[in-house]
Amino acid sequence: MRICFISTRLNGTDGVSLEVEKWATVFKRMGHELFYCAGELGGYAAGGTLIPQLHFDHQTIINFSQSAFGEGRQQVDSVKLVDEIYEMADEIRAPIRSFIRSNRLDLIVVENALTIPMNLPLGVTLTGLIA
């Protein structure tokens, strides 16, 4: 099978990167072909597809998180914020879709991009693509 991992960052010694590396080791032993897509790549994932806006440290993503969860969130225009999140989701949809299609993937493993709100547009995009 052709299996991919999509996350905000696949590099270093954070929990997600270490877990993906464990999955990858097992999948490789089973003979599967692996692909990676994230906002930061390194180590085992260095040859993957880099989409900078997937990283939780991308300035636009930081701004969304601050607006949605930060101290000044009561003063934020929530309708405008949601519109901006969906606009960014539209921007990252095409490169993620291209990554999926060009690699003819059989299985997508999403690591933490749907479970915690580190990158709101990425969660919106992946939910739509998976559906």
Spans of all domains in the chain: 2-130
CATH 3.40.50 is right for the domain spanning 2-130: yes
pLDDT in tens, the chain (131 residues): 999 999 999 998 888 899 999 999 999 999 999 999 999 999 999 999 999 999 999 999 999 998 888 876 667 788 999 999 999 999 999 999 999 999 999 999 999 888 888 899 999 999 999 88
CB of 58 closer than 8 Å to CB of 66? no
Residue 117 pLDDT: 84
* 43 dihedral zone (left: phi>0; alpha: psi -120 to 50; beta): left
Residue 73 pLDDT: 66
The pTM for the full model equals: 0.91
